[in-house]
Structure 1
């Protein structure tokens, strides 16, 4: 996975890592309060989905504010398909999460 980092206003957009698990779970609790999934269950699911994938690890991007708190997350989950009998690696975008205070900004304009 290529290393990526950029700054957008006060946010630093960077590659997510396995070490971000707890911070992503915190973001999930803030961004998706209506989903009845515990922080621990979300963390387990995130770990399995993005780092335990048998194809390869996902490409994960996170947005962190100046104090390191994650305010955004998106992942591209690798999946295998067949096209014309040939294997094809594709990506499935998933888990777009943006903290409410960042919505209606450049990160999440609508």
Structure 2
């Protein structure tokens, strides 16, 4: 696994959580409006369990990623990696917040991903 793939795990799990949450919310709404709501209870329970599992996995992966990022010695690089991979901010936003060019952000991301990869 590359450093970028390792860091990207949290974002992917976060997207899965949002997807399951949307499914669950719409299933609950359908069940409320439908006279045969008992039919949906099994699916709703499955989605709730899946959501709990994803949230637990997310917390574990976030801690693991954050622990690795904090081992990087460069302060700016650490901050950029946290903003990008933990806070899921786009490069444009990070660039504005940190008063850096896009190229500078991409440079730090690239170097940071390589540093993370060495920590495996």
TM-score over 0.5 (shorter chain): no
TM-score bin, normalised by smaller chain? under 0.3
Give me the TM-score of the superposition, normalised by structure 1: 0.26
Bigger helix fraction: 2
Larger radius of gyration: 2
Bigger strand fraction: 1
